[in-house]
Chains A and B, each alone.
Chain A
Amino acid sequence: MIPSDPAELERQHLADILEAMRRCAFFSHRLSSAIPHPLTGNLLESLCNDFDLSDKLAAFNERFSKLQDSTAAAMRHAALLSGEKTTTFLEVLVFFEKVGVVKSTRDWQRIRALRNMAAHDYSIDYADIALHFNGLKDVLPELLGVSVRMINYCDTKLFIAPKKVFFESDWQHIVNTFRS
């Protein structure tokens, strides 16, 4: 049954976002492990007809973007439910930097810029594509760390957990590896 209380709806909505975040974290982590690192332009060019690799790269790009989007959405809602007066996303970031979820506002924005640059680029230069994926893989641990700490914050401060429990053992591995 869907409650009519707006505050309870906000809480349920945050639980939904946390679940989406966790799915994206799980798939980003799995996909990242399945992609050779570091990639080079020569390797990508030699495997340009490799459907499996192409599929993994496209999926990794997508999951990485959605992980950052869902984490940002969770931050906005969690700030609201924490009673923080925030009008801009920068204020939200500063709040989560203060409570230790985000280690550096600048690093978060840099990851955002990295992801956005690729979203608007149509490069067919294999060396450039390799640079992009190497960059995503390099910063994924940082993004996973934010996600883990965000879920922990919501659990311990707001008593809100992801709606459904999926991939529990994989998630524990991510938590143990990236929480600090």
Chain B
Amino acid sequence: MRLDSTEIKTVRTLVDSIIGKGSMVRVFGSRLNDSIRGGDLDLLVESEAPVDALSRASLKMDLEAKLDLPLDIIFLEKGKKRSAFQELAYSRSGLL
């Protein structure tokens, strides 16, 4: 996984503060491939409860600002049925 310990800590801290402690964070997409360089960061964030739209926007904005990376986030809710796309992303992800 092409994220250093500082970047991982930044992601974890912001997810905890904006979405809530106990949320699970996974990485999918190009950042899991150690043989290539660059690329945006794709995250899956699974929360206990629904996350309102403004909190989702805050997390994306703050992460992009802190990491200086373009970023996409898929939000999942524990226990809620996933779409085909969410399932695909989940199956190709790694725990942060």
Question: Binary interface profile of A, 131-145, with partner B (CB < 8 Å = 1, else 0)?
Answer: 110111011000000
Indicate if the CB atoms of A110 and B50 lie closer than 8 Å: no
Interface size for A (C-beta < 8 A) is: 21
- Provide the bound-state CA to CA distance between A123 and B84, in Å: 11
B57 at the interface (CB under 8 A from A): yes
Q: Which of A124, A128, A134, A139: most chain B CB closer than 10 A?
A: A128
Indicate if the CB atoms of A117 and B56 lie closer than 8 Å: yes
Further pairs besides A110-B61, A113-B60: 16, Cβ < 8 Å = A109-B61, A111-B57, A113-B58, A114-B57, A117-B56, A118-B53, A120-B72, A124-B83, A127-B50, A134-B52, A134-B53, A135-B54, A135-B56, A135-B57, A136-B53, A139-B54
A52 at the interface (CB under 8 A from B): no
- Provide the bound-state CA to CA distance between A132 and B54, in Å: 8
Chain A interface, >50% SS class: helix
Indicate if the CB atoms of B50 and A117 lie closer than 8 Å: no
Indicate if the CB atoms of A110 and B52 lie closer than 8 Å: no
From B53, B60, B61, contact of A132 by CB (8 A): B53
Classify chain B's interface size: 10 to 19
Q: A125-B83, A131-B50 are in contact. Are A110 and B58 (CB under 8 A)?
A: yes
- Provide the bound-state CA to CA distance between A135 and B58, in Å: 12
Shortest Cβ distance from residue A8 to the other chain B in the assembled complex, whole angstroms: 38
- Provide the bound-state CA to CA distance between A145 and B52, in Å: 22
The interface residues of chain A lying within 8 Å CB-to-CB of B57 are: 110-111, 113-114, 117, 135
- Provide the bound-state CA to CA distance between A85 and B26, in Å: 42
- Provide the bound-state CA to CA distance between A117 and B74, in Å: 10
Shortest Cβ distance from residue B90 to the other chain A in the assembled complex, whole angstroms: 15
Top 3 A-B residue pairs of the complex, sorted by shortest distance between their CB atoms:
A135-B53, A114-B57, A113-B57
